[in-house]
């Protein structure tokens, strides 16, 4: 008779999940014993790194990834990763080992007390089976829930003595289940929405990460071209859903009410697809929309639709809806948008380099289909202005506003996309949150190129201190960190550069190396 452990591994196989990301402890060993030869375990040295790698992998593949954490302590270490996964609609099943059922009542060491409450509200569902025989159904439910719209992380706490118990024969039915979501609009609803767009005098399109997640970028392009509408990316976007080289592309919207509204002035209809309305950051009071404008949101997330403070919303499959609209709208008679003004190429010769110069060099030297994973928060606007992102899945950024996402996510994205080069652009402040991801990259020979932009300060915090007029703030500098030595200690090739020629040479070598490498580049903090 199959054990619960045997049935769970068969269930994972049935759902195409044979990679597990994690950092296990004693409670997890009974699940991992006699580890199946057709599975692989990607070990991270910290739980936050484990969930970050899995998040990058899940986003890049568009499939559910499995994360294995250790009880309450491991879950706590991974909470920043839960926040990113929740905001990115990442398909994760996160498991944590619970103490044996025989002792849970006396709360011994490593008991996950109130296990189902611990990860809330950053999961779609959190569960601990009432009896061992319910574990396979719990796993099946978690796998389906993680991918049903709106996708997101789910959490299972499993007592470690459950795995050896016999599975109930009827549980085998779980292996044959398939669950699908159907989110297309009816023909009448599509026609009505298309007619609304056709009546617009000067529409504008705002795209968010769920367009890229649905791989609906080409439909967004077709729709924008037929409407002859400019395209903005929603504020604080963690993905790029429209080619940055397209003449309709305008850039990244600011995360303040007044600034965003000013940029949309003159438009009578704002179509927002695959994004919240809107994810603001700095407090900048002003109108939610410019005078005379109305807004329509297309989203996969009912919560995003319900909490929007203005406009109408349509909840469904973002990709299917955009494809249908692109087919249904008429060819607008107005003139097409003129290409935006792009910044001039940065001048060579500065020492240390400007961040803009580093980005220009990367853009010239990297493959056209390179993937960028960003956590250089003070250079976000420059990246959107200067880098060439033309294919789906070309850009990833932490969606929750915290640090520690990009280094592990880059490893996960590269595991998912071995044919494309992943370049992680990391600030020297950000890098310290998840630097152990370098070890995992080295152990599995994941050929990410890590570029550390070292300016010795938390650049985004310095900028925000100016926004808030907060003077005399301590702890904004991070001097004297040797990332080259750290990287070499974890097993990477690494070097330090501080001028154009040295960076170009090091970056070219890294692209050709076929193994993980790190370049620490001295960059200047811009003078206000």
- Among the options 46, 56, 70, 126, which is catalytic? 70
Token code pair at residue 128: 């601990």
Tokens 């490498």 belong to residue: 517
CA dihedral sign of residues 275, 319, 124, 411 = negative
Distance CA 232, CA 124 (A): 29
In 10 A of CB 77, how many CB atoms? 18
Distance CA 313, CA 316 (A): 10
- Among the options 62, 133, 218, 281, which is catalytic? 281
Q: Is 219 one of the catalytic residues? A: no
- Spell out the SS3 assignment of 221-260: HHHHHHHCCCEEECCCCCECCCCCCCCCEEEECCCCHHHH
Three-class SS of residue 133?
A: helix
Q: What are phi and psi of 497, to 5 degrees?
A: -135, 160
- Among the options 62, 251, 401, 456, which is catalytic? 401
Task: Please answer whether residues 240 and 373 qualify as being in contact, where contact means their C-beta atoms are separated by less than 8 angstroms.
Answer: no
Q: What are phi and psi of 65, to 5 degrees?
A: -115, 150
CA dihedral sign of residues 218, 223, 228, 233 = negative
Q: Is 47 one of the catalytic residues? A: yes
Residue 452's nearest CA partner among 517, 514, 511, 395 is: 517
Burial class (CB in 10 A: 0-12, 13-18, 19+), 193: buried
Q: Is 491 one of the catalytic residues? A: no
Task: Please answer whether residues 139 and 167 qualify as being in contact, where contact means their C-beta atoms are separated by less than 8 angstroms.
Answer: no
Three-class SS of residue 326?
A: helix
Tokens 């209809």 belong to residue: 269
Token code pair at residue 43: 């070990």
Phi and psi based region of residue 270 (left: phi greater than 0; alpha: psi -120 to 50; beta: remaining): beta
Token code pair at residue 143: 């796998």
Distance CA 52, CA 140 (A): 23
Task: Please answer whether residues 440 and 411 qualify as being in contact, where contact means their C-beta atoms are separated by less than 8 angstroms.
Answer: yes
Residue 75's nearest CA partner among 133, 154, 185, 184 is: 154
Q: Is 25 one of the catalytic residues? A: yes
Please list the alpha-helical segments (H only) found in 270-379.
302-307, 318-328, 355-365
Q: Is 26 one of the catalytic residues? A: yes
Three-class SS of residue 311?
A: coil
Residue 111's nearest CA partner among 53, 160, 71 is: 71
Enzyme catalytic residues: 25-26, 28, 47, 70, 281, 401
């Amino acid at each position: 008779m199959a054990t619960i452990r045997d049935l769970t591994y068969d269930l994972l196989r049935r759902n195409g999940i044979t990679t597990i990301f994690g950092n296990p402890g004693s409670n997890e060993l009974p699940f991992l014993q006699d580890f199946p030869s057709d599975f692989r375990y990607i070990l991270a040295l910290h739980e936050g790194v484990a969930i970050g790698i899995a998040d990058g992998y899940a986003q890049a593949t568009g499939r559910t990834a499995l994360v294995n954490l250790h009880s309450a302590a491991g879950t706590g270490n991974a909470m920043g990763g839960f926040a990113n996964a929740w905001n990115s609609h990442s398909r994760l099943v996160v498991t944590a080992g619970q103490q044996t059922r025989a002792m849970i009542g006396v709360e011994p060491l490593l008991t996950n007390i109130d296990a189902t409450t611990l990860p809330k509200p950053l999961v779609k569902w959190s569960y601990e089976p009432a009896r061992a025989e319910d574990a396979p159904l719990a796993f099946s439910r978690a796998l389906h829930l993680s991918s049903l719209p709106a996708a997101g992380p789910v959490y299972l706490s499993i007592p470690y003595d459950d795995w050896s118990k016999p599975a109930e024969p009827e549980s085998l039915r779980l292996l044959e289940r398939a669950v699908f979501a159907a989110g297309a609009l009816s023909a009448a609803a599509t026609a009505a929405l298309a007619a609304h767009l056709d009546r617009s005098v000067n529409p504008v399109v705002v795209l968010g990460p769920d367009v890229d997640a649905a791989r609906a970028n080409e439909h967004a392009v077709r729709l924008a071209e037929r409407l002859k509408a400019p395209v903005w990316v929603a504020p604080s976007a963690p993905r790029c859903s429209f080619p940055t080289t397209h003449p309709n592309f305008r850039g990244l919207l600011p995360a303040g009410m007044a600034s965003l509204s000013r940029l949309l002035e003159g438009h009578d209809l704002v179509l927002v697809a695959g994004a919240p309305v809107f994810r603001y950051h700095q407090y900048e009071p002003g109108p939610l929309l410019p005078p005379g404008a109305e807004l329509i949101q297309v989203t996969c997330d009912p919560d995003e639709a319900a909490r929007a403070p203005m406009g109408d919303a349509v909840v469904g499959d973002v990709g299917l809806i955009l494809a249908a609209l692109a087919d249904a709208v008429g060819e607008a008679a107005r003139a097409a948008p003129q290409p935006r003004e792009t910044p001039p190429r940065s001048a060579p010769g500065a020492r240390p380099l400007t961040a803009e110069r580093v980005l220009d060099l990367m853009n010239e030297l990297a493959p056209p289909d390179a993937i960028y994973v960003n956590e250089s928060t003070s250079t976000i606007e420059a990246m959107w202005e200067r880098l060439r992102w033309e294919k789906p899945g070309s850009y990833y950024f932490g969606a929750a506003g915290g640090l520690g996402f990009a280094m592990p996510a880059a490893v996960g994205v590269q595991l998912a996309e071995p044919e494309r080069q992943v370049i992680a652009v990391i600030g020297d402040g950000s890098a310290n949150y998840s630097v152990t991801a370098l070890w995992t990259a080295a152990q599995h020979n994941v050929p990410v190129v890590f570029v550390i932009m070292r300016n010795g300060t938390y650049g985004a915090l310095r900028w925000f201190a100016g926004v808030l007029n907060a003077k005399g703030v301590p702890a904004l500098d991070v001097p004297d960190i040797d990332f080259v030595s750290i990287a070499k200690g974890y097993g990477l090739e690494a070097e330090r550069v501080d001028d154009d020629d040295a960076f170009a040479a090091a970056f070219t070598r890294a692209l050709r190396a076929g193994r993980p490498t790190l370049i620490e580049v001295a960059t200047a903090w811009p003078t206000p």
